[in-house]
Structure 1
């Protein structure tokens, strides 16, 4: 595996090899749809790998107009550039930190409808044996109606709190306190009595998203991981499609690299990558892969036309 991943890295970073990596197309090409549709129809199982590109396709961006409309006061006071970097801002106080995070969680976890691409995706795979590995913390798959037993969220969940120092493996639902924080926030601060504290050690709390080595993986996390691994074991000899949607090459270790490796190893596997402006296919798997340079939502809209 190490040798294969080194080849992948060299392929991505080498100017000499970059033109050999993928079949690049600039729009939703019906030839791609016509090729992909029978592959999905004929397969026995589909493993969906979802990154931020799928979230952005649903309109849930962390920058631009959506950020500016929801965080104008934080932008003015802290000169923030987007929601992602806002989560790493070195606030002076916990009251300021949770004023930001409560609003971030409210608009990205609680006060939003399910994005259309997620509904279209479910309609595409619902009659198949499928599983989802998802690196977004917004729980759009659950809102769309995907079975919780078929989803693995390895990077966490905006709807949960954990001890900042991981003194225990317990997670806490945060919906009620988040809404109280937002309601009580003033001048980019929340009241001190609403600052969350760990019920066990009394220390600071964090959102349960993977940021450092203190990320808490509770029993539910490990059970989801087991189901994910079992799905792969059960389907390694079947016709399995690795459907990668909007996964960035800057964070490839959780979805992209494993998908490439399993496509190479599994005899009956096929790799499909849909990602606007960012797609790479190693030469080792190019005969059993296709890259579509398209907005994911546009592609899902287009493939519906070809459904019987």
Structure 2
């Protein structure tokens, strides 16, 4: 199998994980199926939401109602264990020198890989931040979510349970990219880990592996991966996506693409053994 062969031959692997990876894991944030999976069918019926993100970006009449949805949505992501595609990926690359750059915010990367090998470029629903923000601090979402759920009635939480910044009293918001996203110490450290890894492995055989990366934010994974593939002397790019199988022509034989379902491909690669003939005695 090509994927397994490239992984085994690489000295270092940089994995770019996009929304397609979580979709194949069952986290369908963009369609109706995700609402049912997350136990949010009541919100779908009452408000007509077409997807989990539809509900997340909805303009609610009150903070109490907005945070009722947020609390249910975040609780779903926090409770879900690491899914099989992520576990299969860990099995495939865990013995290698690797780094994960992710645009997903659903906590699956954090549950599967050690923090020192990851960069959550778009943040994570596992944390909250001050909306202003007044401070360079992110907060564990779990205790806030538990308190909101305990006092929830119907589609609203209690006013006193709206998450507030302990420093200024202003509203907390999920630590995910929007116009108030905190690119503070936690974010910068993740980015620095990624940049240091890429810089230090530049002269080795580097596999740049794109998994389920779409076209919404090409400047985070796709374009930098193309640039590294072109510049590094022994780099190779493999892109895997269910919707396309074309590699950038300007990279020639340094890049290739596979059109496949990631759940199926990663599971098959995990159990595939690359045959290496035994040493022959002289």
**Alignment TM-score > 0.5, same fold:** yes
- 1:286 aligned to 2:252? yes
Q: 1:176 aligns with which of 128, 140, 143?
A: 143
Q: 2:173 aligns with which of 201, 206, 227?
A: 206
Kept after mapping to 2: 8 A contact 1:134/1:151: yes
Q: Residue 259 of structure 1 aligns with which residue?
A: 225
Gaps of 5+ in 1: 1-32
Give the Cα separation in 2 of the matches to 1:279 and 1:185. Answer: 46
- 1:44 aligned to 2:35? no
Q: Residue 216 of structure 2 aligns with which residue?
A: 250
Q: 2:61 aligns with which of 92, 97, 101?
A: 92
Q: Residue 136 of structure 1 aligns with which residue?
A: 104
- CA deviation profile, 1:176-201 (whole Å, cap 9, x unmatched): 12022123222210011101122222
Where do 1:13-32 residues align within 5 Å?
none
Kept after mapping to 2: 8 A contact 1:249/1:278: no
Q: Residue 29 of structure 1 aligns with which residue?
A: none
Displacement of 1:279 in angstroms is: 4.4
Give the Cα separation in 2 of the matches to 1:160 and 1:53. Answer: 22
Give the Cα separation in 2 of the matches to 1:302 and 1:77. Answer: 41
SS at match of 1:158: strand
Displacement of 1:280 in angstroms is: 4.0
Kept after mapping to 2: 8 A contact 1:53/1:248: yes
Give the Cα separation in 1 of the matches to 2:23 and 2:136. Answer: 31
- CA deviation profile, 1:83-107 (whole Å, cap 9, x unmatched): 1121110111000000000011000
- CA deviation profile, 1:97-148 (whole Å, cap 9, x unmatched): 000000110001x22111011111111111111000011112212322x221
Q: Residue 127 of structure 1 aligns with which residue?
A: 95
Cα RMSD (Å): 1.5
Give the Cα separation in 2 of the matches to 1:137 and 1:269. Answer: 28
- 1:64 aligned to 2:32? yes
Q: 2:51 aligns with which of 73, 77, 82?
A: 82
**Greater RCO (CA < 8 Å, at least 6 residues apart):** 1
Q: Residue 297 of structure 1 aligns with which residue?
A: 263
- Count how many residue pairs are aligned between Structure 1 and Structure 2: 272
Give the Cα separation in 1 of the matches to 2:3 and 2:256. Answer: 8
SS at match of 2:208: strand
Instruction: Detail structure 1 runs of 4+ shifted over 4 Å in the superposition.
Output: none
Displacement of 1:150 in angstroms is: 0.4
Q: 2:83 aligns with which of 89, 102, 115?
A: 115
Give the Cα separation in 2 of the matches to 1:229 and 1:80. Answer: 39
Displacement of 1:278 in angstroms is: 3.3
Stretch deviating more after TM superposition (113-122 or 279-288): 279-288
Q: Residue 187 of structure 2 aligns with which residue?
A: 221
SS at match of 1:81: coil
Q: Residue 187 of structure 1 aligns with which residue?
A: 154
Kept after mapping to 2: 8 A contact 1:248/1:278: no
Displacement of 1:215 in angstroms is: 0.8
